[in-house]
Amino acid sequence: MKTEHELEIAIRAARKAGEIMLERFGKAHDIAHKGTVDLVTEADRLAEEAIIGLLEREFPGYGILSEEASPDAAESDARWVIDPLDGTTNYARGFPHFGTSIALELNGEVALGVVYNPLLDELFTAQRGKGATLNGKPIHVSGVAELGQALLSSGTPYDVWERPDVYARPWDALTVKTLAMRQSGSAALDFCYVAMGRTDAHFEVDLSPWDVAAGCLIVMEAGGKVTDYKGNPFSIHAPDFFASNGILHELIMQYLQW
């Protein structure tokens, strides 16, 4: 199935969400808590409304799975998977690193992905089998082959207070083996940074489909590799996610075993 029209509309929706974020960034927010350290702001809700409104008008028969509302999470041959504001904690605190993630799933496979960082005006896109781009130009993963020269990133799950040792172990082990480690607070952007070679790998547990669908496709279409921590093929429903430039995959994966 050709997805050029879907990609065009997804890009338009992501840019609209970015406008909403920028209008409110750095101002006081209406913040609610979905969990102890899981926040949601009015920008999340407004961005989601704008994205879903546009997608439903253009593609009324498509299902929608979205972080904040999930109005139609039922199985569907064609389904949008949306994170209207990835990096909400950053956004709420005025930390300048967040974005929007939109993917289209067709017959159980991610067919296209769009991730937009409005602050830097960086638009990452991919269509299955057609490569990945940043602002329209092709991107590729890095060629770093030595762990000691690798820049890695990870993220902290929402239940880290209950299971700190489990999540700290890979971080601690890799910190003394790599060039450096980073934790930015936006999984969608972290995956895109692997895709364009800013970093060489990203690993994280307890992510949701909307956190990974677009970014992981972008990594794979940029020539990288995505599996779970045990090396199983990518699935948006996996318990953990590991994306790399491919060269370092097996070497890093040994440090991710619990």
DSSP states along 156-199: --TTTTT-HHHHHHHHHHHHTTSSEEE--S-HHHHHHHHHHTSS
Q: Which of 138, 170, 194 is the last residue of a domain?
A: 138
Q: Residue 36 — very low, low, confident or very high, per pLDDT cuts 50/70/90?
A: very low
Structurally, how many domains does the chain consist of?
Answer: 2
Task: Kindly state whether residues 65 and 113 are assigned to the same domain.
Answer: yes
Q: How many CB atoms lie within 10 A of CB 136?
A: 7
CA distance 57 to 55: 5
Task: Kindly state whether residues 210 and 116 are assigned to the same domain.
Answer: no
* pLDDT per residue as tens digits for the range 199-210: 999 999 999 999
Assigned domain for 258 exists? no
Q: Residue 34 — very low, low, confident or very high, per pLDDT cuts 50/70/90?
A: very low
Task: Kindly state whether residues 49 and 94 are assigned to the same domain.
Answer: yes
CA distance 112 to 221: 10
Q: Provide the token pair at 220.
A: 């794979």
* pLDDT per residue as tens digits for the range 194-236: 999 999 999 999 999 999 999 999 999 999 999 999 999 999 9
User: Could you list the residue range(s) of the whole structural domain that residue 11 is in?
Assistant: 4-138
Beta strand 122-127 with 109-117 is: antiparallel
* pLDDT per residue as tens digits for the range 92-140: 899 999 999 999 999 999 999 999 999 999 999 999 999 999 999 999 9
Q: Residue 40 — very low, low, confident or very high, per pLDDT cuts 50/70/90?
A: low
* pLDDT per residue as tens digits for the range 59-75: 999 999 997 655 555 56
42 pLDDT above the threshold of 90: no
- Mean pLDDT for the chain? 91
77 pLDDT above the threshold of 60: yes
